[in-house]
Amino acid sequence: MTPPAHLADFDLSLLDQQLDTDDYIVKPGKGVDVHDRPTRYEGPIEKDYGQDAFGALSHHLVDLQERLYAEGKRSLLVVLQAMDAAGKDSTVRHVFGPVNPEGCQVTSFKAPTKEELAHDYLWRVHHHTPADGNIGVFNRSHYEETLIVKVKGWAPKDVIKQRYDHINAFEKMLTDEGTAVVKFMIHISKDYQKQRLQRRLDRPDKHWKFNPEDLTERAHWEEYMEEFNTTLSKCSTDHAPWYVVPGERRWFRNLLITKVLVETLDKMNPQPPKVNFDPASIVIE
């Protein structure tokens, strides 16, 4: 999964000209309608170049994570949300595959257990936030508590309404205390989901990924999009922004997410601690 070594020195200046990650952010306070956002990248970057650029960024991500780990003072939380079959698992594999697993933990949140349900909805999530020096990846997250919970009507509307503030405050506390937070919606069309689900049915080796319940959720597609609009509008903040990632060309999805992560870590600029001895003075006899 590690990209070819020669890509480590690949020139990224063309990419910087052609891809501004800010174009994909949900501007805090501005609101978003995901219907206005592309599900498929149609810009100037060519696939071959994009794949090489991804390889290069991947090397940078690995380096930056090593520095974050060596510093041991701050951490990075990455949230992934999407409709079924949009490519969350594939994103985790491609983007975080190259990163040293010792400093990167992926948590896939499933239906809560009885013990988890017996606590507030941030309880189980908080337990899995990354420790200093680590990258934590949430494959699904506390945002299920506004998304599916709203669409399914599992909690009264006024309970859900309070949660946007809870979540913003929770993420503010995390960032104040040293955990950077970035959040990605992997955005696909209803037609694209159909193709991906059909593929699971057509390929026996993918049958295990097909869940008949996904069709129930698919029937609520528009309600999910509406709640994505509300959630992303209310919870994209300066301290913890949401990005809407076009999900239908996987090479672009990986490229964009990795670029955001590299830019975020670059800004944090983690510094390995200085040693408190003079290495030159040490004699090993």
Q: Is 27 in the site for a copy of itself (CB under 8 A)?
A: no
Q: Which part of the chain contacts a copy of itself (CB under 8 A), choosing from 82-90, 175-183, 194-202, 234-242?
A: 175-183
Burial of residue 57 (CB within 10 Å: 0-12, 13-18, 19+) is: buried
Q: By CB under 8 A, is residue 152 in contact with a copy of itself?
A: no
Residues binding a copy of itself: number (CB under 8 A): 29
Burial of 66: CB neighbours in 10 Å, binned 0-12, 13-18, 19+: middle
Q: How far is Cα 84 from Cα 94, in angstroms, rounded to an integer? A: 18
We find the least distance from the C-beta atom of residue 270 to a copy of itself, in angstroms, to be: 15
Looking only at residues 87 through 126 of this chain, which bind a copy of itself when binding is defined by CB under 8 A? 115, 117-123, 126
Q: Verify binding: residue 179, a copy of itself, rule CB under 8 A.
A: yes
Is residue 14 part of the contact set for a copy of itself (CB under 8 A)?
no
In the complex, the smallest distance separating the C-beta of residue 133 from a copy of itself, rounded to whole angstroms, is: 7
Q: Determine, following the binding rule CB under 8 A, whether residue 172 of this chain makes contact with a copy of itself.
A: yes
Among 14, 159, 201, 215, binds a copy of itself (CB under 8 A): 159
Phi, psi dihedrals of residue 130, rounded to the nearest 5°: -70, 140
Buried/exposed 89-112: b ≥16 CB within 10 Å, e otherwise: eebbebbbebbeeebbbbbebeee
Site residues for a copy of itself per CB under 8 A: 72, 115, 117-123, 126-127, 129, 131-133, 159, 162-163, 165-166, 169-170, 172-174, 176-179
